[in-house]
Structure 1
Amino acid sequence: MKGMGMMPQQRRKPMSEINVVPYIDVMLVLLVIFMVTAPMLTQGVKVDLPETASHPIQPDKDVESIVVSVDSNGAYYLDVGDKSSDPMGLPELRQQVSKILSQRSSSEILVRGDEHVEYGTVVRLMAELQNAGAASIGLITETPSDKK
């Protein structure tokens, strides 16, 4: 007596299909990431940053950075997210930054100063940013390259 009181075992046929749903999910996530980062790669003001050996700061994922650029002529530009401004004066820049910080006080402010701009121009900018309500201000530099 074979298998008395037991259910006969059913042999399952192996499935020869590939489940592509997880691959589609990964592909769509990558697509969204590239769509978000692509516009950020092509924007900005041409600034020759000073080169120095420093440790990179770790950006906070929840906080959007405000980048203030100073070109070699001393003109100021404000970059918030994917929006870049036209050249503006220091009083107008202070007013714009003050408005942004009143809505998002946790935003970090980074300064991109051209290496040929006068030191006093960057110092005045940093003082105006502090008067606008910036708690801390970071400076953006480039790592030195071997040009020798």
Structure 2
Amino acid sequence: MIQPSRPRRRPMADINVVPYIDVTLVLLIIFMVTAPLLQNGVDVDLPQAEANPVAVEPETPPVIVTVTADGSCHLDWEGAPEVVSPESLLVKVTAILRHKPKTQVLVAGDSTVAYGKVVEIMAALRQAGVSKVGLLTRPPTP
């Protein structure tokens, strides 16, 4: 007895992208939920002063140099703050300004830190080519 021949299946040349779209959607949702949680910073007790807010351009985030109460220096730019020495601060800020010359530089000094330490950091920023340095403060409490 001869069996009827079944038609041969031809290989499918199309890629099924539905699973890839599902994975992409899940990753997108995960990143959207976790992105606000990644806001890192260094806790400092900023001095109080009446000042006008500094205009920050959204397309170029500012470089924030934080001087903590113990005198350590932290560099925060597009990521988690990292502890730096004044010498490495000079190198890193120079590289940032070479890449994006219109980047603002802000210094956040703890209210208990010695004035000379903040001036030392500002001098290192001046050597790095920063022409204008903003100082971060808190608005006074009524």
**Shared fold, TM over 0.5:** yes
| TM, length-normalised to structure 2 | 0.72
| SS of corresponding position for 1:83 | coil
Work out whether residues 69 and 111 of structure 2, in 8 Å CA contact, stay in contact via their aligned partners in 1. Answer: yes
Q: How far is 1:142 from its partner?
A: 0.4
RMSD across aligned positions (CA): 2.0
- Distance in 1, matches of 2:100 and 2:55, equals 19
| TM, length-normalised to structure 1 | 0.69
Q: Which residue of 1 aligns with 2:136?
A: 140
Q: Which residue of 2 aligns with 1:39?
A: 38
Q: Which residue of 2 aligns with 1:10?
A: none
Q: Which residue of 2 aligns with 1:106?
A: 102
Q: How far is 1:145 from its partner?
A: 1.7
Q: How does 1:87-98 map to 2 (within 5 A)?
A: 87-98=83-94
Which of structure 1's runs of 4+ aligned residues deviate more than 6 A?
none
- Distance in 1, matches of 2:92 and 2:124, equals 11
- Distance in 1, matches of 2:69 and 2:138, equals 16
- Distance in 2, matches of 1:135 and 1:37, equals 32
Which whole-Å deviations, capped at 9, do the CAs of 1:18-58 have from their partners, x for residues lacking one?
Answer: xxxxxxxxxxxxx96x8654422xx1111110011111112
Which whole-Å deviations, capped at 9, do the CAs of 1:56-102 have from their partners, x for residues lacking one?
Answer: 112112222100000001100000022321x2211111111111111
Q: How far is 1:144 from its partner?
A: 1.3
Q: Which residue of 2 aligns with 1:77?
A: 74
Q: Return the letter of the residue paired with 1:143.
A: P
Structure 1: tracts of 5 or more residues without a match? 1-30
Q: Does 1:115 align with 2:128?
A: no
Structure 2: tracts of 5 or more residues without a match? 1-30
- Distance in 1, matches of 2:47 and 2:104, equals 21
- Distance in 1, matches of 2:130 and 2:36, equals 26
Q: Which residue of 2 aligns with 1:61?
A: 58
Q: Return the letter of the residue paired with 1:59.
A: V
* Matched residues, number: 113
Q: Return the letter of the residue paired with 2:130.
A: A
Work out whether residues 41 and 80 of structure 2, in 8 Å CA contact, stay in contact via their aligned partners in 1. Answer: no
